Structure 1
Amino acid sequence: MGKQKKTRKYATMKRMLSLRDQRLKEKDRLKPKKKEKTDPSALKEREVPQHPSCLFFQYNTQLGPPYHILVDTNFINFSIKAKLDLVQSMMDCLYAKCVPCITDCVLAEIEKLGQKYRVALRIAKDPRFERLPCTHKGTYADDCLVQRVTQHKCYIVATVDRDLKRRIRKIPGVPIMYISNHR
């Protein structure tokens, strides 16, 4: 006598009664659906997202010559590695006055990095940098920057982080500044 082979049944479900089954009581049975006739002359409503008034198609009218640039942590680090003066290279790039802005979250992120990034911390605490206070909880800088840019479209975002650049490209009318080839 050999052992009987049992094959396993995959993706099997317990059989359930349909709500229209005859064996169910009247109170548990599903009521037949009535089709509502739609009036062809009635106005159709649809949900359209509200776009900010500062955008003229993709062109942002709020960006003006004293450019406010939100600086990310890795942008400061890469500028040190590329031996760039941050404010001067921003002005060379845009041919206008630039006001680098740094949020509390970015500053906290640089402080967390420790002694290795003390030069970056000293650059971030430069008096030429405008400090922007954060009211939200947590210190994740990427979320903070994306949130601030979606609320106020008057900023240019300076970052080297690929994920952050990908997130900001989805927001219309927000330019991105980055470092490549030491410029």
Structure 2
Amino acid sequence: MRVKKQKQNRKTVRFYKACFAFREPYKILCDGTFVHKMLESRLGAASEALSALLGGHTKVFVTRCVINELKKLGESFSGTVLATRRLTTARCNHEMLKSAAECLEAMVGTDNPEHFFIATQDAGLRRKFRQVPGVPVLLVQKNSLLLETPSDYQHQVARMSEAERMHMNEREYKVLETREAKKIESHVDSASAHDMSGDELPKKIESEDNSNSRRMLAVKDQPRFKRKKAKGPNPLSCKKKKKVVNPSTTHNQGFQAEGTSGEKKRSRKRKRRHHKVVESGEAAG
């Protein structure tokens, strides 16, 4: 159950952030009933408990009207008065002191411009704030903090505001018309300078508009496909090349090692002498 509640709380906070521009640090405006209930339930420091509930940094506020109302309740609420004085005091615009309910209604107004989370145990006050757009309501229930889901009215206001944002208002229409008029004037001036005919002018405007729109949308005329090139092998996964040993060099090296010197021995060429054949007759004479 605790996980489901956390998911629901995150969903509610995202709704108010997207539709009503709530941002951190979240502002929580408390009344005396909420602070008193937190002390009874022993939920700890208000800022830490609310930060854990909303999933972001928070600032807790009270008004001087709330503190003044708690003082009138007697000594039984003296601890609550001390706890509220530790919180940040928000300025209320009214001069005369009012009740806590009237003060909170005045602070919120019709559209909650300060983006307050309202923390109260008053059921009637919570019912009123459900009919105000962009007002999330917090309360203590069963010794734990609870963020109420947005009401049907707040969902309806969010849908209406989203539909309005989809269409241009009068100011945006005027800005668009002035831009179009300036664009046409600039093209007419350039056409007169280059003696351009009237038929070529709208074509040029249309082509420039198309090129600008393509440039803004980053759309290309034709898709370009990149060809995959053959990549070389991973050098870390390849084996090192082995040195090729030439057998002739090994034979010569062994021959040099056997000899006295490292130089090759010269082969001696012997010349054969041709002996003259002396005839026996001549020898005798």
Q: Please, what TM-score do these two structures have when normalized by structure 2?
A: 0.42
Residue 234 of structure 2: aligned partner: none
Distance 1:172 1:153, change over 3 A: farther
SS where residue 97 of structure 2 aligns? coil
8 Å contact 2:16–2:22 — kept in the other structure?
no
Q: How far 1:135 sits from its partner (Å)?
A: 3.3
Tell me which of 135, 139, 143 is aligned to 2:102: 143
- Find the aligned partners of 1:153 and 1:132 in 2 and give their Cα distance: 11
Higher strand share: 1
Q: After the TM superposition, which residues 138-177 of structure 1 pair with which residues of structure 2 at under 5 Å, given as runs? A: 138-150=97-109, 152-177=113-138
Q: Deviations over 1:143-170 (max 9, x none)?
A: 1101211252410000111010011111
Aligned with residue 31 of structure 2, among 72, 78, 83: 72
CA displacement at 1:78 relative to structure 2: 0.6
Q: CA RMSD in A?
A: 2.0
| Letter paired with 1:130 | T
Q: Which runs of 5+ in 2 are unaligned?
A: 1-14, 145-285
In the alignment, is residue 111 of structure 1 matched against residue 71 of structure 2? yes
Residues 1:182 and 1:147: Cα distance change in structure 2 (over 3 Å) = same
Query: Match for residue 15 of structure 1?
Result: none
> Do the aligned partners of 2:115 and 2:134 also contact (CA within 8 Å) in 1?
no
Q: Give the 3-state SS of the residue equivalent to 1:182 in structure 2.
A: coil
Superposed displacement of residue 95, structure 1: 1.2
CA deviation after TM superposition for structure 1 residue 60, in Å = 4.3
Q: 4+ residue stretches of structure 1 with deviation over 6 A?
A: none
Aligned letter for 2:49?
Answer: S
Select which of 56, 75, 85 maps to 1:125: 85
Task: Using CA pairs under 8 Å that are at least 6 residues apart, name the structure with larger relative contact order, 1 or 2.
Answer: 1
**Cα pair 2:34 2:119 within 8 Å, conserved:** yes
Q: How many residues align?
A: 126
Q: Return closer, same or farther for 1:68/1:58 CA change in 2, 3 Å cut-off.
A: closer
Change (3 A) 1:165 1:57: closer
1:100 and 1:145, CA in 2 relative to 1: closer, same or farther beyond 3 A? Answer: same
